[in-house]
Chain A
Amino acid sequence: AQSVAQPEDQVNVAEGNPLTVKCTYSVSGNPYLFWYVQYPNRGLQFLLKYITGDNLVKGSYGFEAEFNKSQTSFHLKKPSALVSDSALYFCAVNSGNTPLVFGKGTRLSVIA
C-alpha cells in the first residue's frame, strides 16, 4: 500500500529565512511524487513533481524539492520565505496506475 507522512502539522518561519516542509513516503515500485499548495477557501494548486531524472526538482513560486530514494523523502524547500507563502501544503505519491495518495498536510506560517 502507498502512504505519505508529513511529520509536522505546522511550520513557522520568519520572512526571508529558508523553509523546509518534510515528506516521507512508502510505495512498492518507483514513486511519482507531488507537492500541492492550498490557500484559504481555494482548491489545491500544483507546485512541482518528481517522475524521473534529476533528483532536484524546481517548481512554481521559487519552490524546489529533492528526491532522496535511500531516505524515501521528498522535502519541499525555498531559500527565502515570503509572507504570501503561508498556506497548507500537501505531499502526494503514487506508483503505477493508481490515484494519488495524500499526506495530512503541513500548515506553513511565514511571519513578517
Chain B
Amino acid sequence: DADVTQTPRNRITKTGKRIMLECSQTKGHDRMYWYRQDPGLGLRLIYYSFDVKDINKGEISDGYSVSRQAQAKFSLSLESAIPNQTALYFCATSDATPELFFGEGSRLTVL
C-alpha cells in the first residue's frame, strides 16, 4: 500500500459543484500539504498543516478550504468548482525536515 493515498484519482465535475479530495498517510508525519500542478506553472502551495490544530494558507488558497480530521487525514474542498480549478492536485507529507513525500495525484476536470 502507498504511504500517501489520494482519492479520487480522477474526477470530472461541473461548474458550481462541491468537490472534496481526500488524502491519508501511513508515514506517521505531523505535516501535510496540498499542492496544485498546472503545465508550465510547476507546483503551487494551496494549504498546509503542521499538526492537527494548525491550518495555514498557501500561495493560492482562494476558492479552496481544508480540513485536518486527524494526524493521518487532510482533505481539500472546492466549495463551488470553476473551470480554472482544472488541475492535478497533490497531497504531500513531511516530518520536521522539509523533505516531502507525495501521493500519486488527483486529476480534477471542471466543465
Chain A positions within 8 Å of B, measured between CB atoms, are: 6, 9, 32, 34, 36, 41-46, 49, 51, 90, 92, 94, 98-105
Contacts and interface: CB of A to CB of B under 8 A. Distances in A.
Contacts of A101: 45
B41 A34 contact: no
B98 A43 contact: no
Contacts of B48: 99
Contacts of B99: 34, 46, 49
B90 interface: yes
Contacts of B33: 99
**Looking at chain B, what size class is its interface with the partner chain?**
20 to 34
A43 B89 CA distance: 10
A98 B33 CA distance: 11
Given A46-B101, A99-B48, A104-B41, 15 more contacts: A42-B104, A43-B90, A43-B102, A43-B105, A44-B90, A44-B100, A46-B100, A51-B97, A90-B43, A99-B45, A101-B45, A102-B35, A102-B44, A103-B42, A105-B42
Contacts of B58: 99
A2 to B, nearest CB: 11
Given A43-B90, A43-B105, A100 B100 contact: yes
Q: What 5 A-B pairs are tightest by C-beta distance, nearest first?
A: A43-B102, A104-B42, A102-B43, A44-B102, A43-B104
